[in-house]
Amino acid sequence: MVDCFSEIVGHAAAKRGLLRAASTGRVHHALLFSGRRGIGKLALARAFAQVLLCEESQLGVGLGGLRRCGVCRHCRRIEKDGHPDFLILRPSGVYISIAQIRQLQQDVSCNPFEARLRVVIIDDAHAMQDAAGNAILKTLEEPGSQTQFLLLTDQAHGLLPTVRSRCQVVRLAPFSWQEVCAQLVAQGRPEDLAQRVAAVAMGSPGEASSWSDSGALGEVYGFLDAMETLEDPAQAIDLAKEISGQGELVPVFLRLLSTYLRDLAVVGACGSGAEVIHVSRREGLLERAGRVDVDTIIAAFECVEQVRRALRGNVNQTLALEHLIFRLRPVFGRDRMSGGSR
């Protein structure tokens, strides 16, 4: 197979599907790239636009006809966002407005200026307000033979069902924590830092890169350290208030708890030979796993997920975290926190 995506890491199945469609000349007129933020959706969409518009690429004649030379005027101008037939629509503020959609419809109503096709990327497509989503339906359904839509989202559930139904979904799966860690090490990050970052990145290399340059990561791990040493209910209440006061760090802390509990369950089931995410905490995990049964750990994991979902709604964050920390007493609590049960 022609490697038109040589520098795009991962997403092998998605890349094969895109090239197969281009090689037959039957690319769906509206593709929805769905995957976590920072996973490479825009990079892949841009590269695919270059395949579609490259001067050396021949669509519909088999894989051997596909090219992405990187040096022709189309490839170079797409890379710099300076091609008149390569449009990127992004939210203006929080939302994509109906006015933006009306302007886009006007832009695509004429033939491409230079290339064989016009490629339109709608980034953060879930940010389309309902009026904007309804307005674009007809255009998505019948964009014309010379317009290709690529919608990008990390919140596919936020799109109108009528918009989703008009698109063919290209799913980009999260990377494994080992892959994220390896990418960070390849970028020059120390391995111990890479391991700590990968544990909270949830399979997103882009998010991992930003966290590896942030001093806030140490604070998140400090919360976990505090969880491991809780001895008093009053400490639990104080910790919940402290975590809640950190705002944007709360979801990251919950991710960290999830990966820690995952490690604890694996160690409890498989023993010292288990592969863990938190390598530096292996000894502590082994000691704790000897005191907590696997069913209790699984129940704790489910509780973390329940709180994660609840916090997406209108709930009191501090109370939710207090509830979570007390529910995790059988795993983390000592002495007075555990009621003397161990």
> What CATH number has the domain bearing residue 243?
1.20.272.10
**Per-residue pLDDT at 6:** 87
Domain count, the chain: 2
Same domain flag for 163 and 249 = no
Over range 311-315, report the average pLDDT: 84
Residues 121 and 219 in one domain: no
In a shared domain, residues 226 and 150: no
**Backbone φ and ψ of 248, nearest 5°:** -65, -15
Quick check: 241 and 234 in contact, CB under 8 A?
no
HEC sequence for 191-252: HHHHHHHHCCCCCCHHHHHHHHCCCHHHHHHHHHHHHHCCCCHHHHHHHHHHHHCCCCHHHH
Does the pLDDT of residue 2 top 80, yes or no? Answer: no
- CATH number of 33's domain: 3.40.50.300
Tens-place pLDDT, residues 256-287? 999 999 999 999 888 888 889 998 888 989 99
- Are residues 164 and 34 part of one domain? yes
Q: Which of 171, 203, 226 is the last residue of a domain?
A: 171
Q: Count CA atoms closer than 13 A to 98's CA, side-chain side.
A: 7
Share above pLDDT 70 across residues of the chain, in percent, rounded to a whole number: 96
Query: Phi-psi bin for 40: left (phi > 0), alpha (psi -120 to 50), beta?
Result: left
Asked if residue 24 is part of any domain, the answer here is: yes
pTM: 0.85
Domain span at 54? 12-171
DSSP at 115: S
Within-domain flag for 197: no
Same domain, 222 and 144: no
pLDDT of 1 > 80? The answer is no
- Is the domain of 241 the same as that of 302? yes
In a domain, residue 184? The reply is: no
Domain membership flag for residue 210: no
Determine, yes or no, domain membership for 134.
yes
Q: How far is residue 169 from each of residues 9, 33, 197, 265, 297, measured CA to CA in Å?
A: 20, 6, 29, 34, 35
With 80 as the cut, is the pLDDT of residue 58 above it?
A: yes
Give a yes or no: residue 46 inside a domain.
Answer: yes
Same domain, residue pair 25 and 113: yes
Backbone angles phi and psi of 220, in degrees to 5: -65, -45
